[in-house]
Structures are given as structure tokens and as C-alpha cells.
A = this chain, B = another copy of it.
Amino acid sequence: MGRCNKLSRGLSYRSPPLVSLDLPDDWSSNSNFTHSHSPPIHKCKGNNESARIIDGRSAAEEIKSSIAIEVSRMKESIGKVPGLAVILVGQRRDSHAYVRNKTMACHEVGFRFSIAELPESCTEEEVCDALSNYNKDASIHGILVQLPLPQHIDEGKILNVLSLEKDVDGFHPLNIGNLAIQGREPLFIPCTPKGCIELLLRSDVEIAGKRAVVIGRSNIVGLPSFLLLQRHHATVSIVHAFSENPEIIAREADILVAAAGVPNLVRGSWLKPGAVVLDVGINPIEDPESEHGYRLIGDVCFEEAIKTASAITPVPGGVGPMTVAMLLLNTLEAAKRALGFT
């Protein structure tokens, strides 16, 4: 089987369908399990060498270009385009920045885009109403509720209202359950983990059989990253704030996903030489010399990590742009499914 997704006619996108990845657990052949090729970048690097930078921005641009082509084809063929709606509550600066990125990306690829902005003080009912309207709106194929919501709003309750067919973030428990269970396939895979896997595949990093360590167990990144790496047959460990000796566990990783939301948590000494590092953290830190008075750094101490890792995603320009590209891809899939367009 090739690596091209069946949904990706002409699309530059490598993740194979999950179900196709399911393999029988044949323990008898464990010692004979041979990989089709040696991992090309899991080489031990000397301290003076520098890790390869995994360029998420250019990968995302490539994916967006092919999505734009698909959108044109759809428009010409059936006169419709995919539609994404965002529900944004309150004034969090980071949430507004994320939504701005998503809006721009939608325009870039020719999606219809709609936003419902609600004040911090709004009620759960008002959020549900906005959501229900988008659920019913046939021109909207994907809906995302920008998280986190204000504390007085029950996230779980809101996500339960979201139509499963439009859950392009993949956070509905039924989607997460189907991501966890071998033999099943969720309608949508959460965007950040999907972007991480896509970067690994594009970088020819072997996943099956390798040790992967996910740092952080959030419902939106850490947990689904664990589940997805597991479906790709990595041997996965999940480290969280209560883990004893997290650095020792991290050092076992061939593939490290840092998603704790703690700036520079992962030091060079946390890495196995030659590890592949995906830095999901996007942490603003004050920087008077920057245009806006702050700049973004990751969960990984980049300067230290490039001396030990074999490959690493930068922040910004690594996992972030891929998350947005995967959101577009999920929305395109949702639209194709809803409109019966192949």
C-alpha cells in the first residue's frame, strides 16, 4: 500500500487511513520484526553537529496549495466550497491570534469562513445557540469552538452539542474513542497530532516500533498524540506533571513530542542523541526588542536541543502552521463527505 491517503486525489498529504495501519499483534515474530528500511535520521549526532530543522511552514504551504486546487475543482464541478465556522468567546489575546491565523488560511485556500464572537460574559445557552445554528447551516462543513472557554462555561457540554460530522477538531468523545480503538477510524483526527505525524512521515522518520514519549496529556494535544502514535505502532509513553524523573523518560525517546505548555521545559539533557523532536509549545515571553513586546518560544530549549537531536521543529514555523493546514484538510474532508464529492 502506498502512503497516499485515498482522500487525497492530487493532495500533497501523506498520512495513510488509520484502519489500514492496524496490524495483528503477532508476538511470536517479535524478534524477527524487520523494518522495511533503516531510519534515515535516527543517527547519533556529535555535539558540534546541528539538528536538521523540520520546516513546518513550507510543508503547510505545500498542503494548502493542494487544498486550494481541490477547492477550485469542487467549485467548478458542483459550485460549492468548504465552509468553516469558528465560535470565539471572550478576549484572550492568544485565542484571537489563533483565530486570525485560521481566518487568513481559509481565505488563502478559498473556503467560506464564518465567525460567531461572543463576549466573555455570555451564557452557556448562547454558545449552544450559536453552535446549533452552525450545525444546521448547510454551507458550513466544519465548526470549531476556540478553546479554552471561560471557566463558567462547561466545555464538555458545549462539545456534546457539536455535530459529529462537523467536529473538525476531532475532540468529540466518540471521535477520541474511535481514535483509541484498533479497527475503528474517527471521522476526524485532532489537528495538532495529525500535523505531527504528517511532519514525521514527510521527514521519513520511522514510527513503528520506535520509542515515542509525549510530554503533556492535554485533551487537545498530548492525549490524542499518544493515541495516534500508538495507532502508528510506536511504543508510546506519556509523561505529565506528576511523573517522577520526566527527563529520564524523555531520554528514552526516539521521537519526542513536547506539549506541556511550559517554556523551555525540555533541556538538551532530556534528549537521547539523534532523537526527533516535535515542539508543540507556543509560549509568549516578554521581549522588549520584538515588534509586539513579546515573542513565541516552544517547550523545548531550542539552542540546546539542536546539538543533540537529529531533527527538530522550530517555534514558530514548526507544528503551528501544520495544525492550521490539518484543520483545513479536515474541513475539506468534511465538505467532501457532506456533499458526496470525490
Indicate whether A241 sits within 8 Å of B177 (C-beta atoms), given known contacts A155-B183, A156-B184, A216-B25. no
Please name all residues of chain B whose beta carbon is closer than 8 Å to the beta carbon of A80 when the two chains form the complex: none
Is A282 in the interface zone, CB < 8 Å from B?
A: no
**Copies of this protein chain in the complex:** 2
Is A341 in the interface zone, CB < 8 Å from B?
A: no
Cα distance A319–B241 in the bound complex, in angstroms: 30
- Asked if B183 and A242 make an inter-chain contact with CB atoms under 8 angstroms apart, the answer reads no
Q: Which residue of B lies closest to A173 (CB)?
A: B177
Q: Mark A202-245, 1 if CB is under 8 A from B, else 0.
A: 00000011110000111100010001001001011111111110
- Asked if B25 and A223 make an inter-chain contact with CB atoms under 8 angstroms apart, the answer reads no
Indicate whether A23 sits within 8 Å of B219 (C-beta atoms), given known contacts A176-B180, A177-B177. no
Please name all residues of chain B whose beta carbon is closer than 8 Å to the beta carbon of A18 when the two chains form the complex: none
Out of B29, B181, B210, B230, name the residue touching A176 (CB < 8 Å): B181
Q: Mark A169-180, 1 if CB is under 8 A from B, else 0.
A: 000111111101
Please name all residues of chain B whose beta carbon is closer than 8 Å to the beta carbon of A181 when the two chains form the complex: 173, 176, 219, 223
Q: Which residue of B lies closest to A178 (CB)?
A: B173
Cα distance A26–B240 in the bound complex, in angstroms: 9
Residue from the set A29, A208, A236, A260 with the largest chain B CB neighbour count within 10 Å: A236
Count of A interface residues, CB-CB < 8 Å: 50
Is A72 in the interface zone, CB < 8 Å from B?
A: no
Cα distance A301–B100 in the bound complex, in angstroms: 58
Please name all residues of chain B whose beta carbon is closer than 8 Å to the beta carbon of A265 when the two chains form the complex: 27
Is A327 in the interface zone, CB < 8 Å from B?
A: no
Cα distance A83–B171 in the bound complex, in angstroms: 34
Cα distance A219–B184 in the bound complex, in angstroms: 10
Cα distance A251–B261 in the bound complex, in angstroms: 30
Chain A interface (Cβ within 8 Å of chain B)?
Answer: 23-30, 33, 155-156, 172-178, 180-184, 208-211, 216-219, 223, 227, 230, 233, 235-244, 246, 249, 260, 262, 265
The 9 closest A-B pairs by CB, nearest first: A177-B177, A173-B177, A237-B237, A235-B243, A176-B177, A25-B241, A27-B241, A233-B242, A209-B242
